[in-house]
Structures are given as structure tokens and as C-alpha cells.
Amino acid sequence: MKALRGQTVVQKGALAPNGFLVPRGQVRSSARGVASPSLIGERSLGIRAALPIVRQQAGLHWSSKKRHSVVVAVSAPEQQDTKFAVDETFSLPKGNETVRATVEQKADGAQTVRLTTSLQAGRLLLHWGVEGGKDYQGGWRLPSTCRPPGTKQYKDRALQSPFQVDDQGSHLFIMLSAEEASDVLNFVLKDEATNTWYDNSGSNFRLPLHGEASGKPSTGTQVIPKALADKWAWMRWDHQGRPQQSMPDANKDYDRGVEEMRALMGVGRSMDELWRVAEGKWPYPKYLDEVEHPAFGDKYDAFKVREEQAAASGVSLGPIPVELLSVQAYICWEKAGQPQGADFADEARRVIEDRVRGGATYEQLAKEMNLEPTWKKDEGKPQPEQQAPQQHEAKQAPPAAPSEVGKPLGAPKRNPLDLVKPQGQAPVLSEGKSQKREMPLDFLEARWAIDPSTKWRRKYGLGNKSEMLVVVRQKEETDPIRVDFITDRADKLILHWGVSKPGSRSWKLPPAEMRDEDSKEATELALESPFLECDDEDECDLEFMGAKVPLQRRTITLPADSWVGAISCVLRSADATMWYKDGGGDFLIPVPCKHVKEGTQLDAMPQLTDDLSREIVDAENSGAWTLMHRFNKATDLINNVANGQYDLDPADGFARIYAWLRYSATRKLTWQRNYNTQPRQLSGSQDRLTGTIASTHARTTGEPQEWVRMMLTTVGRGGDGQKIRDEILNIMHRNNIPEKKGLWIEDWHQKLHNNTTPDDVPICEAYLAYLEQNGSTGAYWRVLADAGVTRERLESFDRPVRGEPQWFDGKKDALIRDFRNYLGILKSVHSGADLQAAASAAGNQVPDGVRGYLAYVMGHVGDSQTLPLMEAAVEARTELAPALPGNRELLYLDLALEDQARQAAERGVGAAGFGAAAFMRPLLQNLALSLGNNEEVCYCLKAWQELPKSVRHGGRPTKDEALLAVAVVNRIRRAISEVSDNVVKRIGDVGKAYGQAFGVEAWASELFAEEVVRGGPAFAVSLNISGIEPTLRNAAELGAWQVISPQEVVGVVEYVDGLHDVQEKTYEKPTVLVASQVSGEEEIPEGVVAVLTPDAPDVLSHVSVRARNMRVLFATCHDPEPLEQIKAAAGTTLHFTTTASGAVHWNEAHASEVEAASDSKAADKPSKGLKISIPKWPGKWVVGMDEYKDGVVGAKSKNIAGLRGKMPDWISLPASVTLPFGSYEQALEAKENADIKAQIQSRVARINARQPNSNNGGAPAGEQQEQGGDEASTLLAECRELAMQVHVPPEVKQQLTEAMTAAGIPVPDSEERWAKAMEAIKGVWASKYNDRAYISLRKIGLSFDDVRMAVLVQRVVPAHYAFVIHTRNPSNNDPNEIFCELVRGLGESLVSGMVAGSAVAFKANKKDLDSPEVLCYASKSEGMFVGESLIFRSDSNGEDLEGYAGAGLYESITMDTTETRRVDYMEDKLVRDPEYRQKLLARICKVGEAIETALGSAQDIEGVVEENDAITVVQTRPQV
């Protein structure tokens, strides 16, 4: 069926863009549209009909082969008639890539927008907002309802919606009522994977959404397809005889054509008719005669009529001067609240045109704006209108030339491990370490700190060495809450107090039940209660330095069910002459409240209970406060932390100071309040602070040193501040500029004289831009806007800078020269990490080895050749590193070079494609040089450098090379994740708490730690990974998913941070968990049908085995996009399936599927109905292998004994002896253990007495289970502690000695080693009370107390490698394939989940075991090792149940401590020697076949490979 022009035919069964099915043959209107004339002028996309325009664009990269589309729909049901439609195509700044937009407006005003793009990217986002609509107040409006799944709000400024993908393509639907209908969609595209932005030549794409079809002529609201407008303009130009035209004339004629078509459509002519004319099917001359002339007469040219009308009224509609347009756009932006992402160019143009039509002239408007009309000086010269500056999201502008990888610089070869930084005592404390002075209330605080009823406590200084201690206590939830205020202040005090609801700071009058007889109403919101002499001997009998301390106390009691969330208070002296506050604010005391929602309990920032943070917050609340005061205070606090004055880890202390200074540097804190600071005073405080930072850097190592170095990024160098004050006056005098009030430069001079701040750097840069662009105030405001300096901020200074710069004739060149020099002076004080300023300040201190690299960097800043610039910056840093400790100038230079490398990466990764692999070495080296603890990153760098050239240089790697590279990339990703996690750990909560205390916007404090990470060198590495990983995974033939346990499931989606957090929870409905973290040792919660995670636990880890046993879908996803899509569907029921190729598919489930899945899950519990038999103690403490029988020892012991004589000579079996079932219980019967036995029995009884599914106050069963789990976990931990105290009968040692000697097992040769052996045995016994085992057994209805623990004793085989074999491939349940995993060191790092990362995974077909296939190389950073020792393995009756995966529930413990050591797989023969690898992996596969044949069923086998390649099987069990 052929579609008519402007229409879309949808086949039967197809899903229309609004989500409704359309019958076969039904035609849905999809007429085309175009932007308004103001958008089709000089800055429109594509080729202009009369004047082709070719624009050079920066090169961008697509790292995915998927086609993306997104629908942003504002739609009504399909049955409504379409009133208005658009089909528009926008060109992207890359090749022939485009964005196609289709818009439909329904009769009720609702709208549908579909965006489709050919752009290929790693993770594409639509960054968008709208203009117009209900309650519109300017700028970007963010629709509040029906946002696409996965949409996130970006800093209250824009929405970011991910592109969606399914079998039909990539799309997304939003259904909004007419309430959200708007006029314009503003958008840009962002590839989140590479942080690459795609925009309209530096501006936003604008798509009209609103039109009229009233049948009346309209000149401003009809929307025309751009392709049609282009053809129409060409047709008109051809009809006119193809005249030569200037740019303004071409623009004007183009817009006339658009107005002509709008007028025609306004009188009922169809869009299809216009297409016929534009394509020549209806000749234009004939159309003029037959249609236009009859409709409009001779004056059919609507645009010409409009101009003639304006001319008749004396109004000029000529080109708007760019300066006027720029300033008006800035004013519109400010009036709209400075919205991020908004473009006010068109609004500015409309405002100016309306004023001109009203009779104003451009010169009059300029005067109103304090703008000198410089365009009059250039009369007669063409002044084409330019686009006004945009106030949109700050992002790096594209370079003039496309970025490219470039040729390597030829950096010297280095051993990355030489870059590992020593981890010494940090910080090196001074000899005269400051000791924290003891205070009288310290004893009481310490006592209440260990009181289990204490819910909250804090100590406050009241001046004159006196303090107040506040303690909140409650024994049980049903008990009253007691709040004590105790002080050692001598004068009588009154507590002035009120109460607040949870989550509020508003005062309310305390209710009657909280008042004592001596409390009086002071105001309508507060009571006053006197402090009383504290004569309680138990709590107030306090001696200090030999004398009794008189104390005052006030106690407030609250009922247990009180609605109060906090007590707000201040203190005053009894004579009302003194008031005592918390740093200028109220004391805020949080109290437990049952009526508070989770996460809203007001806690007065518990992270700020440390003295350092309290000092910081108190200082910021000072009445007079400037940068000078802040810098001086910071200097003192740095010294205090370095000298150990605070009870804080040094890294925590320095990180807190950094967070505080960063808030200052980002203008979130005041720079001047009630105090004037002269430039020399500020620079002096800066000099003192930066000098202290540098000297502290020399005294510290490791992570503390890293945070100290980062402080320098928040403060300028200091230096000759007086020169700032003097030189501005010298410039004015040299150029004969009067010190005249009202001049902009005089305002700035007074500001500089009074109080210079870092704002002066962008002010100077803005003035230079004004001068260099011949007095362009638009350029002035653009530079200020880019730096975040608004008109409001300029006018907020104590000496405000008002208006705009004035032009001084004949002084341009001299002023540019003078202010270039002045900018250097400002930067030398305020901009420490500026490259030019840092290099200049370092001068002759720069080591010789640095100079050549530094010269290259300074000569190629912003160069399109990314790699050599990056390498030069990093090599300069490497040569600089030995000279850094304590040298302030070189530290600043190091920071500037680090930033150059990061900027080069952000500029070049998007355009480099897989060529960005060449960036990985310098970027990792850059990161290693910045971290305090950099060992793992150095190992990652070494691993990367040892990859084949086809990977390192961005070539074409083979599958095996790509597999190896993927493993290295996974290790790198984990390393940078640890860097990120550590930043969040140190300053995440603290940053939020500081933000709350300082009154910072919520979004800024929420994103505080994230922004620190994104601004650091680790982010550049992450960006690079995103750019190259898709190519590597494709070459390795790896999909986005790794399916560990394939199942088809239906469940409700829920997101959790970690699987461990919910492993005790019971889900009442079938649930699909998306878990950010899965270590491998967790239990899968009951009711969970699927676990999806970005983490990568080993395929044979405990949780993987449990998932397969429980028939739970378990899969790892290596692409963040699918997981984000699933997370966005939280609360929705989805149907998941897996494919033979290892992919995971999902769709929304129907109600019938949900019900069927619930019934199926209930009926299909794989391990229900099992029973555990309780064996009796056989009457002896140790049995040998000949005595391994049912009921005496477990399957581990029996299977090893059963393999004797059945294995080939090259497979060894370890000698073993076993402590049989019941030995632990028998030991408890000893009289020495009577008390321990009673305590354990008491706790076991309490655990068994729990009824998690009873109706506990109406709480859901899952919540009851979770709450009860906390109690059970505590009781189990107590049982383990008691088990470790058991007295082991001496007969155990005696019988072990005899049995081990007979078996040839080395016997401990000293009492000390025997003591270690006994501890290991007790450790295995105690693991009977493991949380994991308790949870697992509870799920199948078994009691953990019925477990009997045999202990298998073996010599530790010295393992070079450890392996696990499943003789039936667990990934696809194929009995013809053997699946194996192998690691360096002990197998515990493989099965326990204690060591992150993947093992070497491989498989082989049983018909061709000599040809194993490597599926994955190891990405683990560490291995577990132990010297000559014994191992005591758990061998319980709870692991022998048929169909139940009990493996890994209990502990196996070595007699000697196991060490975790760094491993380097790239140096291993397994990686470096393919022939050796193939032979070893084949031998391991043959081990599996031999044992399966011997025992007659699929087996789960553990073994080791010794240094001489000898193989020993240490245990085997039936595979579940």
C-alpha cells in the first residue's frame, strides 16, 4: 500500500507511536512541519536554498551499532482527530547523521512528539525541556508528569531521558494530557557513556509543538516542514531569475516563503498541495495565477506586506544589532531565574521587535540597557544579525578543528610498579603533638557512650572552658524518653525551649505532658525551665583534678508515643544578660519518634558530631566572615589535624577540611560578610594557608597526602595581593581614566580596593572580551555567564559593580595590553592551578626533565592532536613527582598538568572511536600519580601495557586478545570504582551534612561527592572505558549479559543496593531484584525469582550455585543501559526469558502470567520437604579414611575416600582424618563447658521461638522477617562467640596425633601450633551458627540446630592454582560440557566471594577435552595464600541433602592465617604461554571426566595445581 505524502501507513498489528493498535490500511496523519521563521534564518540547519552554507563541525564518535530513537509524547488516544502535525529533520554535527522529529497535536490540545536518530552512541540521552504551557514563567519548563521511564531531573534545570530499545527498534512513549501541552521542545543529545554532547552548532535544537488550524489566515503559528521550506525557497528564487543575493537578502526571502505558505494554509490550502507545488507537479507560475492571486490579490506576499506596513509607520525591522540582542537575551535569562539549558535568543528577538513596532528605536533600547550603540560607528558596513549568547548547561565547547588521536609522543618506557607510592605513617606527627585537653564532662560522656539505652549524645562548648552535655536515653521502645541537659557552668541557667515535628525545625509549644511545675511559658512557642542542682550520686558525683565539680541539670521526659521529633532550645543566664547558642543558631536535639517515616528522622546532622566539623560550622556562623577569615581558620585546623588533636583518622580530617574549602571555592559559602578585606590581607591569608598545605603534604603519605594535595584546588596561591590594589589604579592613571563615580571601571576599582575575590578573574576576562570585540557587551556578559557570575552577584558586593563597561576611544590596544598583564596578577593570587600562572610561579624550580614536556603542553593546549598532548602532560607529572613533597609551586603545576590530561581525554575520547585505547596508558598513569594509595592502579597500568599492540594502539584484536583485554578493563573498572567509593565514603555524608548546615541548595549537597569524582582523573579513565569497551566485547564475542542461572520468570521489579542487605527478607510476591552489589557469598531471599546485577561474581560462587539450585534467574549485565531500563520499571511486573545465545529479554507481564507464576513458584520449591537426620557421636573423637561411613562423617570425607584406587596416577588425593559427627555436641557435655552449653541453648531457644509470620502490629510479613532477622543475627553471633570459648577435651589432641601420624599428615610440632589447630576446629564448629546457613535452612523448613558438624583434616596442598569443576555445564545445563574456573592461590578466593573479580573460566566438550575454550580471563586483583599448614574443612550433615545446594554454607579454616596478596595474571605462564594454557586446562577438564566416571554422576569438584603442575583433588560432591 502506498502512503500519501505527509502520511504514515501502519500495518495491522503494528504499534503506533502513541501506543495504540491501528487496523490494517488505516492512514494516520503525519504531516510535516518546520520551525518558525526566526529559526529558519541564518542559523537554521541544512543547506539554504538560495545560499548554501557549509559549516565545519567537530568530529564525534559513535561507539555502538544500535539505532536509537526516543519518543517524548504529549498525547491523547488515537481515536481523536489530529489537529496539527509536524515532520522535521535536524542535522547533527557528524557526517550525515540526523534527528527526525514528528509531532502530532490532537483536537483536545494534547501533543505527541517522536524523535528518531541514526546517531550511534554508548548510552544516548535526550537532555530536554519545554517552553510555554500552563503557568509558564520563562526558561525551560520541566513537565511534571508522564516522563519517560528512566528519566532523571538534572539539577532542576532539565530532564534527561534515555533512549529505549526493543525488537522493533528504539523508542519511548509518554502520554500527557493537554495540561502539559507546550509551544516548543528544546533539546540536545548526550552520549552519557563518553560525556559527548550533540547540539545545534553551539545552541539548542528547537522543535515547535503548538499550531493553529482555525481556517483563518495566520502568519505566526502554522508550522511548515523544513524540507518543504527549503524547496519552496529554491522555487521562489528560481522564479525570480536566480538573482545574486547577500546573506541578509537570502534570509529575508527565505522567511517570505515561509510566511507565504502559512498564509496559504491559513485559508485552507493543504500541506500536500504545497508539496506538489514545491516539487514542480503544479508549476509555481500557474499556482500563482490559479490560487494565490485570487486569494490575496497582488499583495499575496504576506511577509512583504508586513514589511511595508512597518515601513509606513516609520518602524525599522532591519537586522537587530548583535550587542542589543545579546544583552536582551541575558536580561530575559535573568528574569526567568537563570534556568540551566534555556536559550532566550528568540524571546529577546520578540521583545525587541515588539518594542520597535511600538515606536522605539534600537538606540533608545540601547540607552535603557546602559549600552553604547557601537553599531552606529560602522554604518554602511553589513551588520548581520548573530545569535545571542545562550545560558544553557555548561559544557566544553567543541574545538575549532576535529579532535583526533594523533601520533604518540614517544614517551619513555617505565615499569609502572616503580610509581607505587610508599604507605608510611600518615601523617608524620610533630614531636610536640597537641594533646586534647581533658574536660570535666568527658567522664560522663564516656560513660553514657557505652550505655545501651543512649540513643544520642553531644557535648557543646559554652565559653570560659565550660560545657553542656546533652544525652537522649530510652531503654525499650515502650519506655519514656529521657533527655538530660548537664552543664558545669557556674552561673544559674534557664533552658528556653520548644519542640519540633519530625523533619521540621519550626518551634512549637511543648505539650502539657512534657512540662514540669517549674516550667513557664515564655512565648507562644517556647517554655522556660530552670537548671537545677544535680545531686544524683549515680550520675552527678564527678571529680576533676581532685575536686568535686558542681553540676546543673535539666531533665525533660517524653512519652514513648510522642509526636515530637526534636527539641529546639537555647540557654540564657538567670539574669538574662547572656544567651548561649550553638554557633549562632539553636541547639537541636533529635529524639526517637515512632510517627516518623523512614529516612526523615531529624538527627541534627549526626555526621557532624566530631569536634573538627563543629568548629567548621561554628566558624561559618560567625557574624563577620570573609575569605581571609576562612583561610586563616583552615590553616589552624590543618595543623590541628596533622598534630592529632582530633579523634579522627587523618584522611577523614583532611577530607572534611577539603569538603569545606570546596564549598567555598564553588561560591556556595559567603566570600564577604560584614567585613572589608584589603587585597594584601587576603593574599597574606592565602599565602599562609597554601604554605601550610604544602608543608603538611611533605609530612604525610598515602591517602591523607592525597586529600591535602586536593585542598590546593580550592584556593589560589596568594602572593603579592597589594599589587592587585596598586596596579588597577596605575592602569587608570596611565590611560587617563578618571576615578569618576558611575564609570564601570571605577566601580570595579573600588571593589578591588575594598575586597578582592576570585570573582575578579572572570570579571577581568569579561572586560578583555569586551575590549577585543570592539565594545561588545554581549561578549562581556557571555564570559561572565560561563563563569557563573551574574548581574545580581556583581551588584551584591559591598562595593557593587553596576552597569556595563564604557568604551574609551583610542585606548583599546593599550587597555588590552594592560589588562592582559593585570589578569596574570589576579591569577597569580586567585588561580593556583592555572597552567600559565603555575608554570610562571614555578620558574627555575622546574626540574630539567620536566621542561621539554611542559613546553610541549603549553604550546599545544587545546590541540586537536589528543594523544601527544596527554602523554606530554603525564610525563611532565612523572618527572615532577620526586620534587613535589612540600613544594607549593610545583604542586600547583602538577595540578594544572593533571587537569590538562583530563581535559584532553574529555575532548578526545568521543571522536577517537576504538583509537581511544591509546589513551588508556597515559590516563592510568595520570590517575596513579594523583592517588595516595595507588598500588592497584599501578598494577592495572602494568596489565594494560602488557596487552597486545592490537589492543593498546586501537587496532583489530583477535577474539582471544579481546577476551584478555576485557579482563584487564574489568580490573581497571573495579579499581576506579574503589577510588570513587572511597571519595563517597570520606565526603559523601559529610558533604551532605555540611551542605545542610551551610544552607546550600539540596541538589548541590546531594551531588557533592559525585561532582568531586567527575572532576578528577578517575572519571577520565571511566570515560575512556566507555569509549572502547563496546568494541572489545564485540571482538570477544561477548554480549551485554552473562547468564549464570538461566530461567524464565515473572516478578515485580525491586532495586536494592546490595543483595546482602535483603538476604533475610521474605518477599510475599515473586520478586526480581536489581542489586548493585553481589559478592558471591550471600543467600537469595525467599520469594525472589531473579537477581540481576552489574557485579560479576564467579559462576561457581556460593550464590551462583544457590541460584541454580533454587531455579532463580541470575545474570550479570555489563551494559548499564538495560539495567537502568529495568530499574526504571521498579514496581512493575515483568516477564523475563533467556536465549541460547546468552541474552536476557523482558516485557511487561499480563495479570494471568503473574498469577500463574505465583502458583508455579509456590508449587515448585526445589528443596521443600527435606528432612535432616541427626547422627549420634560414634564414641571416638577421630576416625581414619577406612572408617568413613554414613552417619559418621559427611560427603566430603566419604567421597575422597571413595575415589581411592579409581583415579589415574597423575591425579593425587590428599590423606585425611576426620572429627566425626557429634564431636562438638559431645564436647559441650564436658563439665568445663556446662555454662557455655546453657548459654548457647538459651539463645538457640530464643531463635527457634521467633514467629516471623505472626501479625506484628499489622506490619507486612516481609518487614517482620527483616526486623526479626536483626535479632536472630545478634543471637547467632553470640552463639559463635560462645562456641569459640568451648574447652576441647584433651583426648581430641591425643587421638588426632595418632591418626594424623598414621595417615602421614604433619602433626603440629609445638603447643603454640596445637593451640592454632584447636582454634581452627572450634571455628569450624562455630560456623554451625552462620547467618547464611541459618537463613538457607530456614527456607527449606529445617532447623539449624539439627546440623552436626564433622571436621575433615588435611595437609594444605601448596597451591599455585586452585580450580572448581562442574561436570555438567551450569550455564546451560548441558551434560556434554565440562565447565571450570581457575584462580591463583587458594580456592577460597573463588568460591567464597571474598576476592572481587572474575576467575579464568573455560569449558570443553567431553568428546574433545584436549580443546578447551577460554570463556573469560581472570580480572581478580588478589589471591589468597598460606604457607605449610593444615586445613580443617566443614563436613556437615546439612550439606548431604539430595537436591539441596548446601556447599559453602560452613567454614573451612586453615591453621595458619591466610594472606591476601596482590596478583599479576599478565606475568603468569597461564596467560603468556598459550601452549601451556591449553595443556593445563585440558588436564583439569580430564580430572572432571575421570571423577564423574568413577562416581557415576555429575560432580562439583575442588582441586589445586602445584608449582610443578601436579594436580590434587581436595574434595568432590554431587553437583546440584
Half-sphere exposure of 765 (CA within 13 A, CB side): 17
In degrees and rounded to multiples of 5, residue 29 shows phi and psi of -60, 135
Q: Which residue has the cell 588597577?
A: 728
Task: Classify residue 301 by its DSSP letter.
Answer: -
* Cell numbers placing 876: 611532565
Residue 1304 amino acid letter: G
Task: Classify residue 1466 by its DSSP letter.
Answer: G
DSSP bridge pairs for 141: 130
* Cell numbers placing 1451: 567454614
**CA–CA separation, 1196 and 1216 (whole Å):** 11
**CA–CA separation, 527 and 1277 (whole Å):** 46
Give the number of other Cβ atoms within 10 Å of residue 688's Cβ.
Answer: 17
Please indicate whether residue 830 is annotated as part of the active site: no
Sort strands 1430-1436 and 1452-1454 into parallel, antiparallel or unpaired: antiparallel
**CA–CA separation, 651 and 87 (whole Å):** 57
Task: Classify residue 1378 by its DSSP letter.
Answer: E
Per-residue three-class SS string for 716-767 = CCCCCHHHHHHHHHHHHHHCCCCCCCCCHHHHHHHHHHHCCCCCHHHHHHHH
**CA–CA separation, 754 and 765 (whole Å):** 20
- For residue 691, with 0-12 CB atoms within 10 Å meaning exposed, 13-18 middle and 19 or more buried, which class applies? middle
Per-residue three-class SS string for 996-1047 = HHHCCCHHHHHCHHHHHHHCCHHHHHHHHHHHHHHHHHHHCCCCCEEEEECC
Q: Which residue has the cell 555436641?
A: 1225
Q: Which residue has the cell 525551649?
A: 497
In degrees and rounded to multiples of 5, residue 863 shows phi and psi of -65, 150
Q: Does residue 1017 have a cis bond before it (omega within 30 degrees)?
A: no
Per-residue three-class SS string for 915-951 = HHHHHHHHHHHHHHHHCCCCHHHHHHHHHHHCCCHHH
Interacting residues of 553 by C-beta distance below 8 A, sequence separation 6+: 484, 485, 486, 487, 531, 532, 533, 534, 536, 540
Catalytic residue (choose from 127, 171, 830, 1102) = 1102
Interacting residues of 537 by C-beta distance below 8 A, sequence separation 6+: none
- DSSP H or E run through 128: strand 124-131
In degrees and rounded to multiples of 5, residue 35 shows phi and psi of -70, 165
Among 703, 1517, 771, 761, smallest CA distance to 1105 is for 1517
CB 427 within 8 A of CB 642: yes
DSSP bridge pairs for 1131: none
**CA–CA separation, 264 and 559 (whole Å):** 77
Interacting residues of 575 by C-beta distance below 8 A, sequence separation 6+: none
* Cell numbers placing 196: 559527548
- For residue 609, with 0-12 CB atoms within 10 Å meaning exposed, 13-18 middle and 19 or more buried, which class applies? middle
Among 604, 620, 616, smallest CA distance to 641 is for 616
**CA–CA separation, 203 and 840 (whole Å):** 36
Q: Which residues are catalytic?
A: 1102
